[in-house]
Structure 1
Amino acid sequence: MPRLTSSPPHIRFFFPFFSYIPCVVFLCFLSHAAESQIQDQELQVLLKLRQSWQEPSSLDHWVASNSSSHCAWPEIKCQEGSITELNLTNLSINYSTPPFICDLKNLTKLDLSYNNITGEFPTVLYNCSKLVYLDLSKNHFEGPIPSDINRMANLQVLILADNSFSFDVPASVARLQRLRILHLYMSEYNGTYPEEIFGLSALEELRLEYNKFVPSQLPQNFTVLKKLRFFSMAQTNLYGGIPETVSDMEALEHLDLGKNPLTGEIPASIFALRSLSELYVYETNVSGSIPQAVSAVNLSVIDLSLNNLMGNIPEVFGQLKNLYSLNLEFNQLSGGIPEVIASLPALSDIKLSNNNISGTIPPDFGKFSPLRRFEVAFNNLTGAFPEHLCHGGTLFGLAAMDNNLSGELPKSLGNCSTLSHVLLHNNGFTGNVPGGLWMLRNLTALLLSGNGLTGELPRELSPNLTRIEMSNNKFFGKIPSTVSSWRNLVVFDASNNLLSGTVPAELTVLPSLTTLLFGQNKLSGNLPTDIISWKSLTTLNLSHNKISGPIPSKIGLLPVLTQLDLSDNQLSGLIPPEFGQLNLNRLNLSSNRLRGEIPSLYDNTAYDTSFLNNPGLCASNSFMRINVCTTQSRRSSKINLTLIVILAIAAAMCVLLVVLFMIRASRKNRSRFDSTPKLTPFQSLNFTESNILSELKEPNVIGSGGSGKVYRVVVNPSGDTVAVKRILNNQKLDEKLEKQFVAEVEILGNIKHRHIVKLLCCISWEKSKLLVYEYMENSSLDRWLHKKKRSSPNSGVANNMILDWPKRLQIALGVAEGLCYMHHGCSSPIIHRDVKSSNILLDSEFKAKIADFGLARMLAKPGEAVSMTSVAGSFGYLAPEYNHTKRVNEKIDVYSFGVVLLELTTGREPCEGNEDMGLAEWAWFHFNHGKPISDVIDEEIRDNSYLDQISNVFKLGIFCTARLPSTRPTIKEVVQMLLKCSDPPL
């Protein structure tokens, strides 16, 4: 029998490994099976989630499929096959967060921002035990933050910004010890915030800005916040001084304390290096300056604007080598601009406007840094203008108006191709304008008025230039014939200069021109006769020249002309009968050689000073300040009278045809009412369509417009009332009215906000449609502001009542908040395009709601412009760039709202400014010429106790109606400024 031998050593070594293979395979199988089970469970949660949210179309790809894992969906991120992140931003989600979302056991990040979710804070998320990142911003959550929010103990990022959360910020937030990022800005907190927040040592970003907290001072103890990089408490009712302990936040990069009533001086020590005294002892050079290599300060953005800070700009700012944005505008700072600031290597934006700063501008600005914005307007600066501002080739905006600067403009400005707007008016500059400045390809506005500049007008102009203001200078020579190439010019103001020659015919072909001011020059000769290209011209002033010959009849055919001044010339002949077609707010033909009878349209006291010093003119009414027409003077007009009679007969025949057409159309409309109406509800209703249709009677009409009539309808015995807008599509405007109807339904049917009128339902037939809204008891803001000028029996405004200032401020804030929701709170920004006082409705408590969304448009992205095929809106409220470019973004609503603010403060109508200008321009000129604001405040609210608030809102209206869109605030900023205006004095 053979003897058994042992196995070779290598066999004995691997035998245990091979013996474990079945176990390893089995364990892998179990692991794969478990992972597969988890994925199946998570897929079911996602499908259930989509169904719970009414399956938004943006989640159509959330379907069970064997072709790909749900981990590949763009909204999902997985680790080891399990969902860890849900990024559900901007999906138009309207429903609350269901509790089963926390069945995703490994979920660490949830982003629900930019949706339309309502209700209170979703405490169901407490069950998401691993959640470290939660973003609920840009929704409609309301109520308080729960007092037990600290149950989400693992949170490192909590972003609740831009909602309607209110009351206090609970102390429990400060017990989330792991927080790195806390964003609570732009909500409706009106209570307190816990100072313990400033003890969260891990915080890197703290944003509390734009909340109406109870007035408080900044806490003194910032010593714990060593990691804080971003700190913003703008517009949070902070008062008192800036504590020096801010310097303990040694990692700080972004500091924003703007738009508060902070007082005192800017403490230099808060921006100094922590060991500054030691550095001076050991490392100062001979001149005592600090070597650049020593600086380690991180601050890159400082915003202390719109406060009440006094004193000098600290020299220590010159140590902030990373500083690229310094905003100190709208304070009471004095002294000079420290020269060391001009040497900062990263400085990009510097805003020092609206202070009491004096002295010269340091000449090195721009020499060592790539400046983008340089704004020092409305100060007391003197001396020459810096030569190197555009040395870095990035200068975009330049504003130095209303100072005492002198000397010639730097020639380097003529080579600064990046410049967009140059605002240097109201200074003492002399000499010629640098030749290249007129031709800069990106230049849109050049404002040089109120200086001592000289030279001739350029033959060529930048193709993008839309506004030239060069009045009150010493420019001379002729207006060049090449002016016809200045195609995009909107405003051209060259009044009070030494220009000579004729008004060239080439000037009349500029299609975008709205304002042309050439008064007080030495122009002569006849006016061009063919001016029909001036389709957009609203203001024409050629007064105080030596122009002769007849007034061109085609001036009377300009469709939107409202201001006309041809006074103090040598014009002769008759006033063209076409002038009877104009709708002029201002007319001045005085001091000419005109003759004949003035048109009957102007034979009234409104124009009693429009025709003075024309010996050959006469009027029918004796109260006019010119000769009364005699039989002899009328004889020459008999031919014209015959022509008028013929035209009147023709007009009567046209009216008869129209009446017959309307009778026929009304019969068709009656048959349409017999068809079955379709009611589409957007709210819960306590009425039916029959309740509405039975009350569409003439006695119930409360208003009318271009699209139809508006009715007041009581819908039930309880007295519930609605407003019904009836749109009849039986005219040539069918397509336009249909678009307006669709726009209003699409927008108002999908958005809800306390300051936007509620669309309850729509009722439609084939060619007749009804929009049913909540009824607003106090009618429109327009009727309250202008009732004395345009009162009517059905105005809905009591003649013995006035709209006091607290109500006006409440209205302004409400409208701003409604617009803010439209611009920033919707998944796609909504541009109203027709903001005006008649589209602002008031309920029984004078709470404002925005109405009439027929012209509204949605933008694909915030700030992105959309091109329109035509200009739509209301004259007096239209932003100047809209008329020119037909491209709309949020800034056109800001402009219109600025006009509303000027209406609220002055009581004037949007076209009721002064000679040559509407309300917006008139207010701008009044303010910038240093005239007292108190002189223009509406008499009904001229109360000393509110004078500061009214003045600030007036200035805000000017700010909003800036000619350049880029210099207007966002509506978010407007809301915060109005909140600041509404604060009672401390």
Structure 2
Amino acid sequence: MCSKILFFLAVFTLIAAAEKCHPNDLKGLINFKTGIFSDTSGRLDTWIGHNCCEWDGITCDNGTGRVTQINLPGFYTSSDDTPLQTSMIGNISPSITLLASLEAIDLSGLVGLTGEIPPSIGFRLPNLKKLSLWGNRIEGTLPESICELSKLEDLYLYENRFFGSLPGNLGKLKSLKMLDLHSNRFSGFLPETITNLTNLERFCIQNNFLTGEIPGNIGDFQGLKELDLSNNSLTGKIPASINKLKAVSTIYLNNNQLIGKIPFFNQMSTLGFLRLNDNKLTGKIPNSFGYLISLQRVSLAYNKLTGPIPSSLGNLRSLTEMYLNGNKLSGQLPRSIGRLSNLLMLRVSNNMIEGPLPRDMALLENLQTLDLSFNRINLSSVPDWLLKLPSLSRIFLAGCKIQGEIPGNLVSTSSSLQELDLSDNNLTGQIPGWIGRLTELYSLNLSANFLVGEIPNPITNLARLGILDLHSNKLEGGLPPSLANVSSLERLKLQKNHFTGKIPNVFLNFKNLQELDLSDNFLEGKIPFGKPLIDFPKGSYSGNKGLCGLPLEPCRP
């Protein structure tokens, strides 16, 4: 008899638990709702009565009836599979820590959510496995107690307003797999204990104000797949132990103040994306790069690297993008570069690379962007085989000492060419009329050459042209009114030529124009009054003794 009574009491307790919220859970949720002034999703409108387990975004344990999850993300899918973006305006109530059985909190992407992480969170929510508050306006420092969340696996706090140093005991979060704190205002050093997080798979803390050095034992992150420390103020050398990250697929250390040589890479066979650009790295590109067989994108740009480009880079058959620009690299491009059959983008500008170009580059059938500008390459003329690359759409050959007229073989690229930069060369003659056949062209830069004659009328056929830069030539004649037909123009630079006559009134039709420079010519008359012409600074028109009217001095009667 007693056993039956106990059984019915247990069943009654479970039913009661299912129908009524635990007092602490109810108080914590009601206080949270009270702190929210606006909820565009309407989910908080369902928070009525005492059965909180039926409220939108709330999950409870079937046995205890305690709340285990709060899932109210700004991005979610409605019951009819419609994707929704919502927001909440208000503060996170500290009473949320009353929900002692919580395992997951997802209040991400709510935009207007403010407040701080409750200081006692680590002591009050011992079962928490996921804390996702990204994409809000939460501020303050990370409380030290957060290091007591021994079961925490996912911590997403990125794109908020957190500041201050990271807790020194962050390494106590031994269960942590995902740590993403990017785009906040964190400062100070990376805690020495950080490498104790041996289960970490993702560590992203880019776009902050961190200083100091990368921990020397960074290689202890044996399971790490993604490491992003970019856009901080980190100093010192890249630790040699980084080579021990055998599972890593992404390493971004760009935009810091790192010095020294690039460490030896030969074990990271899974590395697909590497950014070391915009640092102060010196020395040669290691031959060991050839071991990175999974590498798809690599950027070493804007460092102080010297020596030749190693031929071992030709082993990177998966490579699609390579940025080596802005260094002090010398020697010739290696012939092995022709083996990079998947290469889409090659930028080696602003180095000391010499010619001739290897004929093997003709094998780069997928190459879309080629930037060889400002090296010691003396092309004299642009090779036919180069312009016959079937996918080439962006060509940057500035400062390559190209002589003679604009290469007629450019017509072979007419169906694909989107950007062309032949500036700072020794081009002579006129701008050919066939340039109007490059109908996909968005940017044309022929500045700083010795071109003569007028702007050819067929250039107005370039309906997609956004940038036209012809400055510092010897072009003459009037500004063609038909140029206004290129309504897509965003930037027009014609300064330091010999243009004469008036600025055509139809130039007022340049509604998309953001930059204009007609200075240092022989233009005269009144500047047409109206936007956008009157919005440009005086410098856009200076050096034309005959021009007057806004933004210059008024015209004399």
Length-normalised TM-score, structure 2: 0.77
- The partner residue of 1:249 within 242, 245, 248 is 245
Distance across 2 between alignment mates of 1:72 and 1:120: 24
Q: CA deviation at 1:330?
A: 1.4
| Aligned counterpart, 1:260 | 256
1:642-677, CA deviations, whole angstroms, 9 ceiling, x for partnerless residues? xx5xxxxxxxxxxxxxxxxxxxxxxxxxxxxxxxxx
Alignment check: 8 A CA contact 2:331 2:352 kept = yes
**Which ranges of structure 1 fall in alignment gaps of 5 or more residues?**
1-21, 274-295, 545-550, 569-574, 586-598, 602-643, 645-986
Q: Give the alignment of 1:59-74 within 5 angstroms.
A: 59-60=42-43, 62-63=45-46, 73=56
| Aligned counterpart, 1:539 | 517
Alignment check: 8 A CA contact 2:411 2:437 kept = no
1:360 aligns with 2:355: no
| Aligned counterpart, 1:272 | 266
1:30-55, CA deviations, whole angstroms, 9 ceiling, x for partnerless residues? 58725632679878975664343124
Q: CA deviation at 1:310?
A: 0.9
Q: CA deviation at 1:319?
A: 0.9
Distance across 1 between alignment mates of 2:392 and 2:41: 40
1:36-88, CA deviations, whole angstroms, 9 ceiling, x for partnerless residues? 3267987897566434312422234642699x997694x45677597544333
1:58 aligns with 2:58: no
Distance across 1 between alignment mates of 2:335 and 2:437: 29
Q: CA deviation at 1:351?
A: 1.5
Q: CA deviation at 1:227?
A: 0.9
| Aligned counterpart, 2:401 | 428
Alignment-mate amino acid for residue 517 of structure 2: T
Q: Where is the strand percentage greater, Structure 1 or Structure 2? A: 2
Alignment-mate amino acid for residue 195 of structure 2: F
Q: CA deviation at 1:317?
A: 0.5
Distance across 1 between alignment mates of 2:350 and 2:316: 24
Alignment-mate amino acid for residue 91 of structure 2: S
Q: Which moved more, 1:35-44 or 1:317-326?
A: 35-44
Q: Give the alignment of 1:493-512 within 5 angstroms.
A: 493-494=469-470, 506-512=482-488
Q: Give the alignment of 1:563-962 within 5 angstroms.
A: 563-564=540-541, 580-584=548-552
Q: CA deviation at 1:357?
A: 0.7
1:517 aligns with 2:494: yes
Q: CA deviation at 1:120?
A: 3.6
Change (3 A) 1:496 1:211: closer
| Aligned counterpart, 2:459 | 483
Q: Give the alignment of 1:282-361 within 5 angstroms.
A: 297-361=269-333
Distance across 2 between alignment mates of 1:490 and 1:584: 26
Q: CA deviation at 1:401?
A: 2.1
1:234 aligns with 2:230: yes
| Aligned counterpart, 1:447 | 421
Alignment-mate amino acid for residue 532 of structure 1: V
Distance across 2 between alignment mates of 1:580 and 1:222: 64
Alignment check: 8 A CA contact 2:254 2:277 kept = yes
Give secondary structure in 2 for the equivalent of 1:259. Answer: coil
Q: CA deviation at 1:311?
A: 0.8
Alignment check: 8 A CA contact 2:280 2:303 kept = yes
| Aligned counterpart, 2:350 | 378
Q: How many percent identity over aligned positions? A: 25
1:527-550, CA deviations, whole angstroms, 9 ceiling, x for partnerless residues? 689642444474336958xxxxxx
1:613-646, CA deviations, whole angstroms, 9 ceiling, x for partnerless residues? xxxxxxxxxxxxxxxxxxxxxxxxxxxxxxx5xx
Alignment check: 8 A CA contact 1:466 1:491 kept = yes
1:121-154, CA deviations, whole angstroms, 9 ceiling, x for partnerless residues? 3135342332101123344444433233333221
1:838-868, CA deviations, whole angstroms, 9 ceiling, x for partnerless residues? xxxxxxxxxxxxxxxxxxxxxxxxxxxxxxx
Distance across 2 between alignment mates of 1:467 and 1:584: 29
Give secondary structure in 2 for the equivalent of 1:358. Answer: strand
CA RMSD of aligned residues (A): 4.2
Alignment check: 8 A CA contact 1:242 1:267 kept = yes
Change (3 A) 1:209 1:531: closer
Change (3 A) 1:158 1:463: same
Alignment-mate amino acid for residue 101 of structure 1: I
Change (3 A) 1:55 1:500: closer
Change (3 A) 1:223 1:493: closer
How many residue pairs get aligned? The number is 519
Distance across 2 between alignment mates of 1:508 and 1:163: 45
Distance across 2 between alignment mates of 1:496 and 1:202: 59
Q: Which moved more, 1:244-253 or 1:365-374?
A: 365-374
Instruction: Work out which of the two has the higher radius of gyration on C-alpha atoms and give 1 or 2.
Output: 1
Give secondary structure in 2 for the equivalent of 1:310. Answer: strand
Q: CA deviation at 1:323?
A: 1.0
Alignment check: 8 A CA contact 1:504 1:528 kept = no
Alignment-mate amino acid for residue 272 of structure 1: N
Distance across 1 between alignment mates of 2:480 and 2:209: 57
Q: CA deviation at 1:470?
A: 1.0
Alignment check: 8 A CA contact 2:323 2:348 kept = yes
**Which ranges of structure 2 fall in alignment gaps of 5 or more residues?**
75-85
Change (3 A) 1:340 1:38: farther
Distance across 1 between alignment mates of 2:312 and 2:220: 31
Change (3 A) 1:34 1:359: farther
Give secondary structure in 2 for the equivalent of 1:297. Answer: coil
| Aligned counterpart, 2:129 | 132
- The partner residue of 1:182 within 176, 179, 183 is 179
Q: CA deviation at 1:202?
A: 1.4
1:904-924, CA deviations, whole angstroms, 9 ceiling, x for partnerless residues? xxxxxxxxxxxxxxxxxxxxx
Q: Give the alignment of 1:147-162 within 5 angstroms.
A: 147-162=144-159
Distance across 1 between alignment mates of 2:53 and 2:364: 54
Distance across 2 between alignment mates of 1:510 and 1:343: 45
- The partner residue of 2:18 within 36, 57, 79 is 36
Alignment check: 8 A CA contact 1:318 1:340 kept = yes
Change (3 A) 1:583 1:101: closer
Give secondary structure in 2 for the equivalent of 1:251. Answer: coil
Give secondary structure in 2 for the equivalent of 1:406. Answer: coil
Length-normalised TM-score, structure 1: 0.46
1:468-522, CA deviations, whole angstroms, 9 ceiling, x for partnerless residues? 211344667875433332344344333566878886553354445552528658x
Distance across 2 between alignment mates of 1:305 and 1:170: 29
Alignment-mate amino acid for residue 117 of structure 2: F
- The partner residue of 1:89 within 45, 59, 73 is 73
| Aligned counterpart, 2:80 | none
Give secondary structure in 2 for the equivalent of 1:246. Answer: helix
Change (3 A) 1:486 1:234: closer
Give secondary structure in 2 for the equivalent of 1:264. Answer: strand
1:468 aligns with 2:465: no
Distance across 1 between alignment mates of 2:364 and 2:9: 69
Q: CA deviation at 1:93?
A: 3.5
| Aligned counterpart, 1:437 | 413
Give secondary structure in 2 for the equivalent of 1:483. Answer: helix
Q: CA deviation at 1:356?
A: 0.3
Q: Where is the helix percentage greater, Structure 1 or Structure 2? A: 1
Give secondary structure in 1 for the equivalent of 2:346. Answer: strand
Alignment check: 8 A CA contact 1:324 1:347 kept = yes
